[in-house]
Structure 1
């Protein structure tokens, strides 16, 4: 079984639920499985402040998770139109993988959630792509041939799934949002197979 790493950071649960939906899509493809991982919060001095193992939810990611994956789905809440600091902090630690070309040629995709409708969904997705391009990854989006992308009223972009949680940070995803997340997971898994990324 080849694994797609679904790596995310979530504060209120919206991005975590999106990650679970992306993982469901990955596992709809025969021969593929999803590895859900998160990253710990960081302090004001940019040092991880959490225990080695989280009290609940997905385990914390290690560089080996990236090295061993056949593809990557990266998810973050929107923070001023960019990814959250804990995810950026983790990605900033991947210089050794970059030097080794460990991620080069693997497919990657991005997803985000935000509490405001115009809070920077698309700019967050685009800026999340930048370090993946530096790693030589092959970016996967959601084409408009997927009808859910045109029908959604709460989130979704061709750059990757998005979720508008509203001011109360509602975790519940809309029907189309779930569909778009699963579509992305399936596309990522299929493209990993086509690229022959099997470890």
Structure 2
């Protein structure tokens, strides 16, 4: 069964929650399955090593996951308008996959969360989409035909799904954010299914 790879980094759990909703959207498409993978945190102390298997949550992504997927969706919290370092570190390890064209022609998308409404959602999504363009992936966004994109006051952009967590990272996902996350997963999976046939 074709799988859509969802690779994310989550520090407070909000991006992980979005990832699960994106996965639900993927699995709403007949014949498609979601493969949830996280990335480990990075540390400025090079002697610190993360265990090869996380203590909780999704397993860590491997380069094999990229090779085996029919599409990929990246998720990260915002760090000064940019993706978080752990996700960037994973992407930076994909040089051989770039050279061999592993993601060429595969649909791809992104999602994020920010503490504030003007915390850099769109620029963060773009930082995740740029490497996907270099990989030759087919970028999938959220069109304004999605009603929730026109009514949301809590996140969601044409560049991908998003959520405003609040400065204490405790704001629950709105119904609009939930709908848009599922829609993003469903759109990527639908395009992957069409490409496969």
TM-score, normalised relative to structure 1: 0.96
Partner SS state of residue 65, structure 2: helix
1:183 equivalent in structure 2: 183
Distance in 1 between residues matched to 2:47 and 2:8, nearest whole Å: 18
1:125/1:159 contact within 8 Å kept: yes
Cα deviation digits, residues 53-104 of structure 1 (max 9, x gap): 1110000000000110000010000000000000000000000101111111
1:9/1:75 contact within 8 Å kept: yes
Distance in 2 between residues matched to 1:170 and 1:195, nearest whole Å: 39
The count of aligned residue pairs is 197
Cα deviation digits, residues 134-178 of structure 1 (max 9, x gap): 100000000000001111110000000110000110262110100
For structure 2, the residue ranges without an aligned partner over 5 or more in a row are: none
TM-score, normalised relative to structure 2: 0.97
1:160/1:184 contact within 8 Å kept: yes
Distance in 2 between residues matched to 1:189 and 1:46, nearest whole Å: 38
Alignment of 1:27-176 (within 5 A): 27-45=27-45, 49-170=49-170, 172-176=172-176
1:109/1:139 contact within 8 Å kept: yes
Q: CA RMSD in A?
A: 1.3
